[in-house]
Chains A and B, each alone.
Chain A
Amino acid sequence: MKIERKEVEHVAQLARLKFKEEQLEMFMHQMNNILEYFDKLQDLDTSGIEPTSHAVIMNNVFRNDAAEELFDKDLLLKNAPAKEKGCFKVPKVIE
């Protein structure tokens, strides 16, 4: 499979990334090289094979629905690039 320029732009949008013109070209070229290598997977017949998403057999793990004092709020907010009145502050969301 080959990825087109328009798709690279679309994927960048989905991933919340932006690229300069020459970076976009480089990524498209490199992704196509890598995708070409991935094509070898298509040679392999996997019909009827169950996919594995985790190496260990997992069941859902529940814990008691009780509040635990885990983190110090001030300590967590210390890392925020912008904050106000104990909240994270972001640029305007709605025009």
Chain B
Amino acid sequence: MELYSLTIHELHELLKKREVSSKEATESVLKRMESIDEKVNSYITVTHKLAMEQAKRADENIKQGKVNTLTGIPLAIKDILCIKGVRTTCGSRILENFIAPYDATVIKRLKEKGAVFIGRTNMDEFAMGSSTETSYFGTTRNPWNLDCVPGGSSGGSAAAVSADECIGALGTDTGGSIRQPAACCGMVGLKPTYGRVSRFGLVAFASSLDQIGPMTKDVKDTAILMNEICGYDHRDSTSVNVGVPDYTQVLGKEVKGMAAGIPREYFIEGMDKEVEQSVKEAIKVLEKLGMEIKEVSLPHTEYAVAGYYLIAPAEASSNLARYDGVKYGYRSNEGEGLLDMYKASRSKGFGTEVKRRIMLGTYALSAGYYDAYYKKASQVRTLIRNDFEKVFRECDVIVTPTTPTPAFKIGEKADDPLKMYLSDIFTIPANLAGIAGISIPCGFSSRGMPIGLQMLANSFQEEKLLKVSHAYEQHTKWYLKKPDLKT
């Protein structure tokens, strides 16, 4: 067993007993990266020096008996979370040389717990995409089939976890950017409730939807990371002051008597037959575990994609106004005067998808169109929230596929933005409603590509997701299967 292939809790046990050192574990992961990342391209930046320093400090602490669950654990961080003194690019040319001047709150918390940061993972530019194809630093490849996308936008984190190029990772989810790549790469990804995790130091895409979450090799690791990243932060005014439970306490508890809602709107015509089959099998497993299965309806689901692709670009167009070539980031000296400088810097610094969304958002917010687009979309958001609220009155969790198909081929949807947007169809509603969602592996297609099972729970009910996911995972053991990457 190579150290890089371990989970957080497995490595923690070895570190605690001092059977291995953090230095050894970190070197093992870095070596794994060196041997395969040329193929997978999970990382934009490898923070070799920082990692070795952190590992050394962790080993000193362990020697003194100071061991937290994350002490000395090598983690990968999506390149959208600020780490002080480290390049933070957001997958964009405009931030190619940006050195973060402070730590994001989640980073600060992980540092305090002694975690080791081994690198910054690849992503769609400013988290806008479902495939990592919009990254300025090249596409990440799916470890299960290098011709396929890993999903996105947190595709680098998902591929790094699945290819054992890290022990665990953080991603961010605005419309499915944790859950969709988790499904595509066959691992676990959780989007916490909006307000559960501080967004301070997370480079903003759509502020009312963005949320940071764990991406890991099994459910227990997700619970462990949740324990450390959740909680109120006065630096994020949308952070909610609700106590953080010990999320590992629910693992292994019985799920008998819990109710799972199956929304008929998530089993649509034209969806992949193998995905449908796997999810239906998974529902049978939940029933076998003693859960009550109920057919439910979320009638406004079909309006979610349109609503989201108005709200998210509208917020993005406003958030991304800050990239003007003045305070940080790329500046073009083309033209004369300030206005020319703004336009040239932004036009050369942003990629096509980012510009497309800025244009869409600016249009939706512009005089004369606000009511027809932004306001309408915000009303749809209310209807979607109400749908969920109603279902959660009678169900503990909602069970759906995470994606309509397994990972698609690189280039397949790159020229058709609308087709790409529709690949988020099952993940978007949770962001609009602010509720929690998880994706866990539930099988493989005949071509050997992973299939993801999504579960949703009401706000601040992450424990329910972890409890049911863990019971399902331990019963089916899909998570034990790993991609065969020849080194």
- What's the count of A-B pairs with C-beta under 8 Å? 163
Cα distance, A19 to B358, chains bound together (Å): 13
Q: Verify A41–B208 contact, CB threshold 8 A.
A: no
- Choose from A12, A19, A41, A51 the contact partner of B382 (Cβ within 8 Å): A51
Cα distance, A85 to B79, chains bound together (Å): 31
Q: Verify B238–A54 contact, CB threshold 8 A.
A: yes
Within 8 A of A (CB), among B164-219: 194-195, 208
Q: Residues of A within 8 Å of B, CB-based: how many? A: 52
Q: Verify A31–B328 contact, CB threshold 8 A.
A: no
Known: A80-B327, A81-B330. A18 touches B344 (CB 8 A): yes
Contact partners of B310 in chain A: CB under 8 A: 38, 41
- Choose from A30, A55, A93 the contact partner of B337 (Cβ within 8 Å): A93
B481 proximal to A (CB < 8 A): no
Q: Select the stretch in B59-67, B68-76, B96-104 that faces chain A.
A: B96-104
Known: A11-B366, A14-B366. A56 touches B338 (CB 8 A): no
Q: Verify B195–A56 contact, CB threshold 8 A.
A: yes
Q: Verify A81–B325 contact, CB threshold 8 A.
A: yes
Q: Verify A41–B378 contact, CB threshold 8 A.
A: no
Q: Verify B344–A56 contact, CB threshold 8 A.
A: no
Q: Verify B459–A56 contact, CB threshold 8 A.
A: yes
Known: A14-B366, A55-B194, A78-B101. A46 touches B328 (CB 8 A): no
Residue of A nearest to B372 (CB): A1
B residues bordering A, Cβ < 8 Å?
97-99, 101-102, 194-195, 208, 234, 237-238, 240, 300, 302-303, 305-307, 309-310, 317, 321, 324-331, 333, 336-344, 346-347, 350, 355-356, 358-360, 362-363, 366, 369, 372-373, 375-383, 385, 417-418, 421, 432-435, 459
23 contacts between A and B (CB under 8 A): A1-B369, A3-B363, A14-B362, A15-B317, A15-B358, A15-B359, A17-B359, A18-B344, A31-B356, A34-B360, A34-B417, A40-B306, A46-B380, A49-B383, A51-B382, A54-B434, A55-B432, A56-B434, A63-B234, A71-B101, A78-B101, A81-B328, A91-B333
